[in-house]
Chain A
Amino acid sequence: MSRATWTALALATGSLLAFAGFAWPLLASAVPADAQRAAPFVAMALVPAAIAVVALALDREMHSAKAVALLGVLAAIGAGIRIAGAGVGGIEAVFIVLILAGRAYGARFGFLLGLITIAVSSLLWGGFGPWTPFQMFACAWVAAGAGLLPRIRARVRGGADAASADAALAALSAVKRAGRLEILMLAGYGVAASYLFGLLMNIWFWPFAVGMGTDISYEAGAPLGTNLASFALYSLVSSTLTWDTVRAVTTVVGLALLGPTLLAALRRAKLPAAR
Chain B
Amino acid sequence: MRFHAGALRTAALVAAVFVATRVVYRVVFGGAGGSGILLLDLPRIPLGGPFAHVALFGPITTGGLWNAAVSALPFAAVILAFGLVNAVIDMRRLFVHGSTRGPLRAISRSLVIAWSTAPALAQAVRRLRRAAALRGERGTAALLVPVFEQTIERALALAASMEVRGFAARHPLPAATPVAETLAPVAELADAGLHRDGTPLLSGMTFTITPGTFTVLVGPTGAGKSSLLRGLDGLFQHFDGGHQSGRIRVAGVDRATTPPRETAAFVGSVAQNVRLGFATATVREEIGFALAVQGVAEPARTERVRATAELLTIGHLLDRDIIALSAGEATLVAIAAAVVARPRLLLVDEPLAELDDAARLRVSAALRGLVREHGVAVIVAEHQWELWQPLAEQWLQIDGGRVRVSAEAPAARLETPPAAPAPAADARHPLAHVRGLSVAHDGATVVDGAAFELAAGELVALSGQNGAGKSSLLLAMALADAAGTVLVAGDDVAALTPAQRRRRIALVPERVDELFLQTSVAAECRRADRADSPAVPTDTTFALLLGQDAGSPSHMALLLRHPRDLSAGQQLCLALAIQLAPAPDVLLVDEPSRGLDPATRQMVGLALQRAAQHGEPESGRAVLFATHDAGFARSYAERRLRLADGRLRAEDAAVPR
Interface residues of A (CB under 8 A from B): 55-56, 58-60, 62-77, 79-80, 112, 115-116, 119-120, 123-130, 132, 208-217, 225-226, 229-230, 232-234, 237, 257-258, 260-262, 264-266, 268-270
- Asked if B14 contacts A77 (CB within 8 A), the reply is no
- Asked if A258 contacts B141 (CB within 8 A), the reply is yes
Interface residues of B (CB under 8 A from A): 4, 6-7, 9-11, 14, 18, 21-22, 25-26, 28-31, 47, 50-51, 53-56, 67-68, 71-72, 75, 78-79, 82-83, 85-86, 91, 103-107, 109-115, 117-118, 121-122, 141, 144-145, 147-149, 151-152, 154-156, 158-160, 162-163, 167-168, 239, 241, 261, 518-519, 562
B21's closest neighbor in chain A, by CB?
A209
- Asked if B518 contacts A261 (CB within 8 A), the reply is yes
A60 to B105, CA, bound (A): 9
- Asked if B118 contacts A212 (CB within 8 A), the reply is no
- Asked if A269 contacts B152 (CB within 8 A), the reply is yes
Tell me the dominant secondary structure on chain B's binding face: helix
Q: Please name all residues of chain B whose beta carbon is closer than 8 Å to the beta carbon of A116 when the two chains form the complex.
A: 107, 110-111, 114
A112's closest neighbor in chain B, by CB?
B107
- Asked if B55 contacts A215 (CB within 8 A), the reply is yes
Name the contact of B67 in the complex, choosing from A67, A112, A128, A213 (C-beta under 8 A): A213
- Asked if B113 contacts A68 (CB within 8 A), the reply is yes
Name the contact of B167 in the complex, choosing from A68, A115, A130, A225 (C-beta under 8 A): A68
- Asked if B113 contacts A72 (CB within 8 A), the reply is yes
Name the contact of A209 in the complex, choosing from B25, B121, B151, B519 (C-beta under 8 A): B25
A265 to B564, CA, bound (A): 10
- Asked if B118 contacts A124 (CB within 8 A), the reply is yes
- Asked if A65 contacts B163 (CB within 8 A), the reply is yes
A134 to B472, CA, bound (A): 48
Known interface pairs A56-B103, A233-B54; A266-B152 also in contact (CB < 8 Å): yes
- Asked if A112 contacts B11 (CB within 8 A), the reply is no
A-B contact pairs, 19 of them (CB 8 A): A59-B104, A65-B163, A65-B168, A69-B158, A70-B159, A72-B112, A79-B118, A80-B122, A120-B114, A129-B79, A129-B82, A210-B25, A210-B26, A211-B25, A215-B30, A215-B53, A217-B29, A233-B54, A261-B148
- Asked if B31 contacts A215 (CB within 8 A), the reply is yes
Q: Please name all residues of chain B whose beta carbon is closer than 8 Å to the beta carbon of A56 when the two chains form the complex.
A: 103-104
Q: Please name all residues of chain B whose beta carbon is closer than 8 Å to the beta carbon of A232 when the two chains form the complex.
A: 50-51
A127's closest neighbor in chain B, by CB?
B10
Q: Please name all residues of chain A whose beta carbon is closer than 8 Å to the beta carbon of B78 when the two chains form the complex.
A: 129-130
- Asked if A77 contacts B168 (CB within 8 A), the reply is no
Known interface pairs A73-B154, A76-B118, A120-B111; A65-B160 also in contact (CB < 8 Å): yes
Name the contact of A68 in the complex, choosing from B21, B109, B160 (C-beta under 8 A): B109
A82 to nearest B CB, angstroms? Answer: 12
Q: Which 8 A-B residue pairs are closest in the complex by CB-CB distance?
A: A72-B113, A214-B31, A69-B159, A126-B10, A76-B117, A214-B29, A126-B7, A71-B110
- Asked if A225 contacts B50 (CB within 8 A), the reply is yes
A212 to B64, CA, bound (A): 12
A77 to B21, CA, bound (A): 31
A73 to B31, CA, bound (A): 47
- Asked if A129 contacts B30 (CB within 8 A), the reply is no
B67 to nearest A CB, angstroms? Answer: 7
- Asked if A215 contacts B156 (CB within 8 A), the reply is no
- Asked if A269 contacts B155 (CB within 8 A), the reply is yes
A216 to B55, CA, bound (A): 9
- Asked if A126 contacts B86 (CB within 8 A), the reply is yes
Q: Please name all residues of chain A whose beta carbon is closer than 8 Å to the beta carbon of B53 when the two chains form the complex.
A: 215, 226, 229-230
Q: Please name all residues of chain B whose beta carbon is closer than 8 Å to the beta carbon of A63 when the two chains form the complex.
A: 105-106, 168
Name the contact of A229 in the complex, choosing from B50, B55, B121 (C-beta under 8 A): B50
B7's closest neighbor in chain A, by CB?
A126
A258-B145, A265-B519 known; 16 new pairs, CB 8 Å cut-off, are: A69-B155, A70-B155, A72-B109, A73-B155, A76-B115, A112-B107, A128-B85, A129-B79, A209-B18, A211-B25, A217-B31, A226-B53, A229-B53, A261-B518, A262-B148, A265-B148
A208's closest neighbor in chain B, by CB?
B75
- Asked if A66 contacts B71 (CB within 8 A), the reply is no
Q: Please name all residues of chain A whose beta carbon is closer than 8 Å to the beta carbon of B71 when the two chains form the complex.
A: 211-213
Name the contact of B168 in the complex, choosing from A64, A71, A237, A270 (C-beta under 8 A): A64
Q: Please name all residues of chain B whose beta carbon is closer than 8 Å to the beta carbon of A74 when the two chains form the complex.
A: 151, 155
- Asked if B145 contacts A262 (CB within 8 A), the reply is yes
Q: Please name all residues of chain B whose beta carbon is closer than 8 Å to the beta carbon of A265 when the two chains form the complex.
A: 145, 148-149, 152, 519
Name the contact of B117 in the complex, choosing from A73, A128, A211, A212 (C-beta under 8 A): A73
A215 to B105, CA, bound (A): 48
- Asked if B104 contacts A211 (CB within 8 A), the reply is no
Name the contact of A128 in the complex, choosing from B7, B109, B148, B261 (C-beta under 8 A): B7
Q: Please name all residues of chain A whose beta carbon is closer than 8 Å to the beta carbon of B54 when the two chains form the complex.
A: 215-216, 229-230, 233
Known interface pairs A69-B162, A214-B30; A129-B14 also in contact (CB < 8 Å): yes
Q: Please name all residues of chain B whose beta carbon is closer than 8 Å to the beta carbon of A119 when the two chains form the complex.
A: 111
- Asked if A120 contacts B107 (CB within 8 A), the reply is no
- Asked if B114 contacts A270 (CB within 8 A), the reply is no
A208 to B73, CA, bound (A): 11
Max chain B C-beta neighbours (<10 A), residue from A55, A63, A72, A123: A72
A74 to B152, CA, bound (A): 8
Known interface pairs A130-B79, A258-B145, A261-B145; A69-B151 also in contact (CB < 8 Å): no
Name the contact of B239 in the complex, choosing from A66, A77, A209 (C-beta under 8 A): A66
Name the contact of A210 in the complex, choosing from B22, B144, B156 (C-beta under 8 A): B22
A265 to B517, CA, bound (A): 11
Known interface pairs A225-B50, A261-B145; A59-B26 also in contact (CB < 8 Å): no
A263's closest neighbor in chain B, by CB?
B519
Q: Please name all residues of chain A whose beta carbon is closer than 8 Å to the beta carbon of B147 when the two chains form the complex.
A: 77
Q: Please name all residues of chain B whose beta carbon is closer than 8 Å to the beta carbon of A132 when the two chains form the complex.
A: 82
Q: Please name all residues of chain A whose beta carbon is closer than 8 Å to the beta carbon of B47 when the two chains form the complex.
A: 233
B167's closest neighbor in chain A, by CB?
A65
B166's closest neighbor in chain A, by CB?
A65
B30 to nearest A CB, angstroms? Answer: 5
- Asked if B106 contacts A59 (CB within 8 A), the reply is yes
- Asked if A73 contacts B107 (CB within 8 A), the reply is no
A261 to B55, CA, bound (A): 50
Name the contact of A215 in the complex, choosing from B6, B29, B107, B110 (C-beta under 8 A): B29
Known interface pairs A59-B103, A130-B79, A213-B67; A76-B121 also in contact (CB < 8 Å): yes
- Asked if A72 contacts B110 (CB within 8 A), the reply is yes
Q: Please name all residues of chain A whose beta carbon is closer than 8 Å to the beta carbon of B11 when the two chains form the complex.
A: 126, 128-129
A62 to B99, CA, bound (A): 13
Q: Please name all residues of chain B whose beta carbon is closer than 8 Å to the beta carbon of A129 when the two chains form the complex.
A: 11, 14, 78-79, 82-83
Known interface pairs A59-B106, A116-B107, A268-B152; A211-B72 also in contact (CB < 8 Å): yes
Known interface pairs A68-B110, A269-B152; A126-B83 also in contact (CB < 8 Å): yes
Max chain B C-beta neighbours (<10 A), residue from A120, A123, A209, A211: A211
A58 to B26, CA, bound (A): 43
A132 to B91, CA, bound (A): 15
B162's closest neighbor in chain A, by CB?
A65
B109's closest neighbor in chain A, by CB?
A68
A130 to B15, CA, bound (A): 11
Name the contact of A258 in the complex, choosing from B103, B110, B113, B144 (C-beta under 8 A): B144
A219's closest neighbor in chain B, by CB?
B53
Known interface pairs A69-B156, A127-B14; A209-B22 also in contact (CB < 8 Å): yes
A270 to B238, CA, bound (A): 12
B118's closest neighbor in chain A, by CB?
A76
Q: Please name all residues of chain B whose beta carbon is closer than 8 Å to the beta carbon of A126 when the two chains form the complex.
A: 4, 6-7, 9-11, 83, 86
A77's closest neighbor in chain B, by CB?
B151
B544 to nearest A CB, angstroms? Answer: 24
- Asked if A59 contacts B107 (CB within 8 A), the reply is yes
A94 to nearest B CB, angstroms? Answer: 12
A252 to nearest B CB, angstroms? Answer: 14
- Asked if B152 contacts A130 (CB within 8 A), the reply is no
Q: Please name all residues of chain B whose beta carbon is closer than 8 Å to the beta carbon of A120 when the two chains form the complex.
A: 111, 114-115, 118
Q: Please name all residues of chain B whose beta carbon is closer than 8 Å to the beta carbon of A268 when the two chains form the complex.
A: 152, 562
Q: Please name all residues of chain A whose beta carbon is closer than 8 Å to the beta carbon of B67 when the two chains form the complex.
A: 213
A264 to B149, CA, bound (A): 10
A119's closest neighbor in chain B, by CB?
B111
